[in-house]
Amino acid sequence: MKKRCVITGLGIVCPVGNNVAESWNSIRLGKTGIHEVTSVNTEGCYAKLGGEVCCNDLPAPQYDRSVRLCIKAAVEAMGDAGLDGNAAGEAGIIIGSCIGGAVSIDEYLTAQKTGTEDNSKISNMAASSIANNAASYLGLNGVTANIVNACAAGTMSIAYACDLIQADSGSLFLAGGTDPFSSLAFAGFHALQALAAENCSPLNHSQGINLGEGSGILVVEEYEHAVARGAKIYCEVAGYGVNCDAYHITAPDPSGEGQMDVIRRALASAGAAPSDIAYVNAHGTGTAKNDEAEFLSLHTIFDGTNVSVSSTKSMTGHCLGAAGAVEAVFTVKAVSEGVLPPTIGYSEEDKIVLAKKAGALDFVANESRKKAIPMAMSNSFAFGGTNASIIFAKEGWKAPLTEAETETKIYVTGFGMQISQSQGMPVASLNLEMKDFTERGVKLGVFRKLDKFSQLQLLSGIDALECAGITVSEENERKIGTIIGTSAGPVTEVSNFQKNICDKGTTAGSAFTFPNTVYNAAGGHFSIFTKTKGYCATVANGTQAGLQSIAYACDVLKSGNEAIMLAAGTDEGSDMVTYFYEHSGINGSRTLGEGSSTVCLETLSSAETRNAHKYAEIAGYALTHSAGQACYTEQEAMRDAITAALNKAGIEPAAVDRIYAVTSNRENGALEEQVLNEMFGNTDRIDVREQTGDCRAASANMQVIEAAKAIDEKKIKTALAVAYGCGSYCAIVLK
């Protein structure tokens, strides 16, 4: 039966408080945390307000501020859930972020101007480091991931934790989001003219956002597991939905079509009707386009119901990747305590206007109210067109007892690659020309909007669709999704943007390049071009993220949410990327490459309906993580991932014909080779990086393409692909 997922712990640090009790009390009382910004230079800026965390005891100063905020909230959530000892050790951690280690990038580039940069801090820059560093600090050995879908990331992380529970990849997760106040985000939204000069007024004057910062962490647990250890249960995660607008890289579809679809997905997942929802924590950013689209969506779906609506961003500001998680904490508290949080800032005149805009919908203005809330929804809509909606319900609600789709067979039906070729040099690059795009129908106007990271992904994704024989149409566009894995994301665009504002000040941010500094921009550009509107996510988790994207996509397919998923690994190269890798020692002596690799995955029923060519079956897959402590070593994690994948595939180690391994570039790589030798002896082994250079996530993903081709050509019958990154391992068995 479908597993029940419950919330057993809460933790938060945000502009209105440094813990749950303090923050929730501020929200109930309508107390704002938005004041004049002190952490970013606002000289010359038209807007100077924001929501900053005032906390003098953030832990772990060796890490980026994003990690420190995350750990602060996670410690509270673990204490609230009663997690210690073995229970804590088995927990995984899924963290959403928009800007990752932007503060560390700012600090490094600022110090570089005076020659005082600390190269040991380079490893803190990528979003990939957040969950891994938090897991290491907290001693968590469950599956980890960083979901980097901008302002929807916090909500999606909770959903992904539930997916992993459904897939038997764990029973206990810390899930949520974190983002710090940064000059990058402030300069970017300032350049877009999206900041409010005064306190923001979401669903009211809608003149812009106030940025915020913080972290929200929820303990997501399988119901029987929670009951067995006697945990208190706040509520259940009843359902969730994720999709893509495929409309614009920064603006929502004004028709509200994508928002309405994701809300309906969440309702269907929960087996609920609109009338079952008593409260909606709206995305409610305070920008005119977002608020207008959301009003339309809410009216279309909830008119005629007894739903109440508010936006807590009026008090916290927009906490970016942490927003969905912070608001999830408030939504869970609303359900458990029967209190409607308000949207503050309405004058008496504003209330008259609101009454006309709201119509029959109950908008909670200025003051919290008591109300029985058996079921509530929280919405998040992001750059890149990503939409996410999640529903929380009181324990014991009328959950539909449907069978989980665990026996769905999944096949590789196509693939595309844009990969560098190693020439024995320290760096291998891939030179893309305009004709590479025009040959695929990409016009100059589209090309000009793309950074290198997005260019690579667009080309490999287009090729994967063509290889699979898929034509996107209105009939199938909502059943095709994308998961993109990356090690470092748009490094060049982020670094160049940050360097410019370090040199010239906050007002020098570029409105043209800022949208491409978010990790999920590549996925957004791809969806916009191809009009694929299904589940979309970008996961940053080191090199193995290119393989984890395939496991993630398989989970989505098994859930029945989509029929076709494109799973990719993408990492770019540039002078800036080379500099960071050389000065951090991350890559060792291996040739550094770049590229994008995309695999088309399809359910058996979809493939047979289309009469698609099936290259190979994804027979088993597994994810593991080691926090790097003696109680559970990385070698044990690697062995466990491989063993679990083989067991799911029903294959003995001796039956594996070929191994594709992307191991660590550190000294640990020799120990990983030892694990493979112990398990498989002299079985044929291939490292794709010998031909391409280390393309990181692209290399990890490429293994599955090479394995599928070899199986299709009847050179082998079975293959194992395994990859390492940021303390995590992913193993996939093909046959």
CB-CB contact of 518 with 98 (8 Å) = yes
The greatest distance separating any two alpha carbons of the chain, rounded to the nearest whole angstrom, comes to 78
Residues designated as active site: 151, 283, 318
CB-CB contact of 365 with 271 (8 Å) = no
Residue carrying the six token digits 């030892």: 674
**How many helical (H) and strand (E) elements, i.e. helices and strands, does the chain have?**
25, 26
Using alpha carbons, select from 269, 281, 259, 361 the residue that is nearest to residue 328: 281
- Residue 433 class from Cβ within 10 Å (0-12 exposed, 13-18 middle, 19+ buried)? exposed
User: Which tens digits make up the pLDDT trace of 276-328?
Assistant: 999 999 999 999 999 999 999 999 999 999 999 999 999 999 999 999 999 99
Residue 403 counted as domain residue: no
The boundaries of the domain holding residue 91 are 5-393
Please tell me whether residues 336 and 445 are part of one structural domain: no
Q: Which residue among 363, 393, 423 closes a domain?
A: 393
CB-CB contact of 177 with 153 (8 Å) = yes
Instruction: Describe the strand order of the beta sheet including 34-36 as a list of residue ranges.
Output: 34-36, 49-51, 211-212
Mean pLDDT within 657-685: 89
- The DSSP H or E segment spanning 389 is strand 386-393
For residue 169, give the amino acid letter.
Answer: S
User: What integer pLDDT is reported at residue 359 of this predicted model?
Assistant: 85
Q: Which residue among 352, 367, 393 closes a domain?
A: 393
Residue carrying the six token digits 């020659």: 115
Mean pLDDT within 676-704: 95
- The DSSP H or E segment spanning 669 is helix 668-680
Q: Show Cβ contacts of residue 381 under 8 Å, excluding neighbours closer than 6 positions.
A: 151, 152, 252, 258, 259, 283, 290, 293, 294, 387, 388
Please tell me whether residues 561 and 465 are part of one structural domain: yes
pTM equals 0.97
Using alpha carbons, select from 470, 695, 463, 657 the residue that is nearest to residue 571: 695
Please tell me whether residues 378 and 453 are part of one structural domain: no
User: What integer pLDDT is reported at residue 669 of this predicted model?
Assistant: 75
Please tell me whether residues 418 and 341 are part of one structural domain: no
Residue 405 counted as domain residue: no
DSSP state of 253: P
666: confidence class by pLDDT, cuts 50, 70, 90: low
Mean pLDDT within 387-395: 97
Say how far apart CA 557 and CA 165 lie, in whole Å.
15
Strand duo 375-381 + 279-281: pairing: parallel
Phi first, then psi, for residue 151 (nearest 5°) are: -80, 0
User: Which tens digits make up the pLDDT trace of 481-492?
Assistant: 999 999 999 999
- Residue 507 class from Cβ within 10 Å (0-12 exposed, 13-18 middle, 19+ buried)? middle
Q: CA torsion 659→660→662→668, rounded to 10°?
A: 10
- The DSSP H or E segment spanning 455 is helix 452-468
Residue carrying the six token digits 């509520």: 235
Residue 527 counted as domain residue: yes
CA distances (Å), origin 501, targets 105, 183, 188, 497, 498? 12, 8, 10, 7, 5
CA distances (Å), origin 699, targets 25, 568, 703, 734? 49, 10, 7, 17
Say how far apart CA 643 and CA 638 lie, in whole Å.
9
Strand duo 410-419 + 386-393: pairing: unpaired
User: Which tens digits make up the pLDDT trace of 77-110?
Assistant: 999 999 987 788 999 999 999 999 999 999 999 9
Q: Which residue among 361, 393, 425 closes a domain?
A: 393
Please tell me whether residues 419 and 321 are part of one structural domain: no
Please tell me whether residues 366 and 507 are part of one structural domain: no
User: What integer pLDDT is reported at residue 727 of this predicted model?
Assistant: 93
Reading the block at residue 128, the tokens are: 């990939």
Using alpha carbons, select from 595, 599, 593 the residue that is nearest to residue 549: 599
Q: CA torsion 100→102→103→107, rounded to 10°?
A: 140
Please tell me whether residues 632 and 673 are part of one structural domain: yes
Say how far apart CA 511 and CA 352 lie, in whole Å.
35
Q: How many CB atoms lie within 10 A of CB 118?
A: 12
Using alpha carbons, select from 520, 445, 530, 461 the residue that is nearest to residue 490: 520
Q: Provide the number of structural domains found in the chain.
A: 2
For residue 298, give the amino acid letter.
Answer: L
Phi first, then psi, for residue 263 (nearest 5°) are: -65, -45
Mean pLDDT within 647-670: 89
- Radius of gyration in angstroms for the set of CA atoms belonging to the chain, rounded to a whole number: 24
Percent of the chain whose predicted confidence (pLDDT) is above 70: 98
Residue 398 counted as domain residue: no
Task: Give the N- to C-terminal CA distance of the chain in Å, as an integer.
Answer: 27
Is pLDDT of 521 > 50? yes
Residue 400 counted as domain residue: no
Residue 23 counted as domain residue: yes
404: confidence class by pLDDT, cuts 50, 70, 90: very low
User: Which tens digits make up the pLDDT trace of 596-619?
Assistant: 999 999 999 999 999 999 999 999
Please tell me whether residues 421 and 381 are part of one structural domain: no
Cα-based angle 256, 393, 234 (whole degrees, multiple of 5): 130
Please tell me whether residues 359 and 489 are part of one structural domain: no
Residue carrying the six token digits 């909770």: 158
Say how far apart CA 286 and CA 306 lie, in whole Å.
24
Using alpha carbons, select from 92, 6, 40, 84 the residue that is nearest to residue 501: 40
Residue 401 counted as domain residue: no
Please tell me whether residues 295 and 349 are part of one structural domain: yes
Q: Show Cβ contacts of residue 578 under 8 Å, excluding neighbours closer than 6 positions.
A: 426, 427, 592
Is pLDDT of 423 > 90? no
Residue 278 counted as domain residue: yes
Please tell me whether residues 687 and 627 are part of one structural domain: yes
Write down the H helix ranges in 543-633. Answer: 545-558, 575-584, 604-610
The CATH number that applies at residue 691 is 3.40.47.10
User: What integer pLDDT is reported at residue 402 of this predicted model?
Assistant: 52
Please tell me whether residues 313 and 424 are part of one structural domain: no
